[in-house]
Amino acid sequence: MLDKRKFYINGRWVEPKKPNDFNVINPCNEDPCAIISLGSKEDTNAAIKSAKNAFETWKETTKEDRLDYLEKLLSVYKKRSREMAEAISLEMGAPMDWATEVQTASGRSHLEDFILRLKNFKFHEHFNEKSNNHISYEAIGVCGLITPWNWPINQIALKVVPALATGCTMILKPSEIAPISGMLFAEMIDEVGFPKGVFNLVNGDGAGVGTHLSGHPDVDMISFTGSTRAGRLISKNAAETIKRVCLELGGKGGNIVFADSYPNAVRDGIRNVMSNSGQSCDAPTRMLVEKSIYQRAIKEAAEEANLIKVDEASKKGDHIGPVVSKTQYDKIINLIKSGIEEGATLAAGGPDLPNNLNKGYFIKPTIFTNVTNDMGIAKKEIFGPVLSIIPFETEEEAIEITNNTEYGLGNYLQTEDKEKAHRVAKKLKSGCVYINGNAADPGTPFGGFRQSGNGREGGVWGLEEYLEVKTVTGWK
């Protein structure tokens, strides 16, 4: 079992002030795979003090200096990518191919893109040619960065890299459920040789370190990715100090499949939901299908779900692994059972373990049909490999059903009619709309509407989250 009980504070690995051991569980076999310590108020205060002391110097570094550090970090990340994939596979059960080609690759992609955006970013500019006003973008200060377990290095890179790029200092609290990748990233920071106190890492849970970070007067900004419930608590706790709070929260995306969609639209939609074992906040877990192709879609969806293999993370292949924890497993299984009780039709999967597995948090790819949008499985964020199929008759009805949710992160639509695609996309209430399986390009903003959050991560927008804007008159 890996011993990961130290924290990274002020440029070195230190013992916790008040040790509080916590076992990290391998979701494939339910056995402990690492041991960490949950940070105390004293540990968190030490990290905040370190970041505050470092800020005055770090914020004055040039863009060229920060680019040099980030390019060195990218080089180290590439060199240690295999270690990162192994860490992610171990802590969250991601199959090695997925952990390597998607999870770990996302961290590299964000690093590369932020380096490009930083090179072109202007921190100082005149308001216009005739004006004597000057606009300045300045680092916001000490940032508390709280990241989730489902896309660990993806979210770490989306927060840490722009904070470093803009001259902020920070305290990272990775998820205590999947902290190994975050600690490996801290080793990379240390290997590069960033100045002491610029980057700090304290493990802990939301009630402990998370609460202390979000309420501390010396923390100028909180960036949080996780559940909407936790986002509300963080916002309330941060309100007393009026700090900036950037939230990327839950989702219950709709995937509208029109009758004129491309041939594999339904099958691709199933693969999209089931990837990462259904543990993606922007997964389109409600598939809305036009009634004229509804029966065909049900058949294709069930066939595709049954083709998806579920197996150990250590094996190569395009199978899915377990969900991350016993808590998540129990929640998902209970929601599957509730869907059956509510009267939805189980077309594939179900609450039983896959036939070849008798241990671990494995769940079959599950498809419900004859679902109405008022059922629990259609309203709640399940965060597992579960999809609800809902029929619709008109374009207006599809839009109404899709928007009838408290969330607004990612929605999807499939049609070969470009005018209809553009028309519907404008009416969908979400931060992202994906048409015909096209992915978002690197550097585009990611974030949600309504209870899916209020921040934007990635590209120039990701840099701006960590900057204050200042107007100075009489510059000329």
Among candidate residues 143, 246, 281, 432, the one labeled active-site is 281
| CA dist., res. 132 & res. 126, Å (int) | 7
Which helix (H) or strand (E) covers residue 119, if one does? Answer: helix 105-120
| CA proximity to 324, closest of 81, 103, 1, 106 | 103
Burial of 397 (0-12, 13-18, 19+ CB in 10 A): middle
Bridge partners (DSSP) listed for residue 78: none
Catalytic, 248? Answer yes
Of 36, 148, 138, give the one whose Cα is nearest residue 381: 148
> Which residue do the tokens 């990837």 mark?
275
Catalytic-labelled residue, pool 91, 112, 176, 248: 248
What distance in Å separates the CA atoms of residue 365 and residue 306, rounded to the nearest whole number?
A: 7
* Residue 172 exposure: Cα atoms within 13 Å on the Cβ side: 33
Which of 322, 147, 104 lies closest to 246 in space, CA to CA? 147
> Which structure tokens are listed for 182?
């975050």
CA–CA dist 388, 301 (Å, integer): 10
CB 154 within 8 A of CB 182: no
* Terminal CA-CA length for the chain: 63
CA 172 – CA 156 distance, rounded (Å): 8
Q: Clarify whether 406 is annotated catalytic.
A: no
For residue 336, give the H/E element and its range: helix 326-342
Burial of 210 (0-12, 13-18, 19+ CB in 10 A): buried
Q: In angstroms, how far apart are the furthest CA atoms of the chain?
A: 74
The SS3 call for residue 422 is helix
- Provide the annotated active-site residues: 248, 281
